[in-house]
Amino acid sequence: MRDVAEQSPGRPIRVVFVCLGNICRSPMAERVAERAAADAGMTGVEFSSAGTISEEYDDPMDRRAAAVLEQHGYRHADHRARRISEVELESADLVIAMEDRHVSSVLELATDPSKVSLLTDFDPAAEPGSGVPDPFFGSDTGFSDTLTAIEAAMPGLFDRIRELQGSKS
């Protein structure tokens, strides 16, 4: 099977971030990646987010996640939770999960496991396989820690995106 990016040389690299309900970690990662890409002058990439369950469908982002994003100057409004689909997985070039259980859920639907990774795999200082802990049931501080973990992975993730962009040229 050929890489989706190789099949469509004119389209952007598609990156989808995945967590459980799509109300905390994955939309935070989407927004951090958008701004980091803009700040780096990176073009030709699209970011989105989704969850592995439907229970939070159409819910807004958790207010604590939105507050942390707002405090740090990230886009925080206009989010509605949604569940990942097979079509989205197929069209994605990278599927970035927050925890191993999300990797497992995605792999049940994904046809190409080589495009599925943990976000923390892109952070050289993170313990291998550690994942981004779920802040939902904890204090507001947990959301700041989540943001820190997401931001730490961006340089490594962007290196991978650049590799994919180079393979499309």
pLDDT in tens, 51-79: 999 988 989 999 999 999 999 999 999 99
**Res 9 pLDDT > 60:** no
Averaged pLDDT for residues 127-144: 94
Give the tokens for residue 78: 């206009």
Reported as a pLDDT band with limits 50, 70 and 90, residue 111 is confident
| In the predicted structure, residue 6 carries a pLDDT above the cut 70 | no
Lowest-pLDDT range of 55-59, 85-89, 108-112, 154-158: 108-112
Kindly report, residue by residue over 36-53, the tens digit of the pLDDT. Answer: 999 999 999 999 999 999
Domain 11-168 has CATH 3.40.50.2300: yes
Q: Would you please indicate which residues are annotated as catalytic (active-site) residues?
A: 19, 25, 134
Q: Is 11 exposed, middle or buried (0-12, 13-18, 19+ CB in 10 A)?
A: middle
Does the pLDDT at position 8 exceed 80?
no
Q: Is the pTM of this model over 0.85?
A: yes
Tokens 């046809």 correspond to 111
Asked whether the predicted pLDDT for residue 90 surpasses 50, the reply is yes
Q: What is the rounded distance in angstroms from the CA atom of residue 75 to the CA atom of residue 45?
A: 17
Q: Which of 57-66, 80-89, 104-113, 136-145 has the lowest mean pLDDT?
A: 104-113
Angle CA 33–53–140, to nearest 5: 55
**Where do the domains of the chain lie?**
11-168
- pLDDT confidence band for 124 (50 / 70 / 90): very high
pLDDT of residue 110: 76
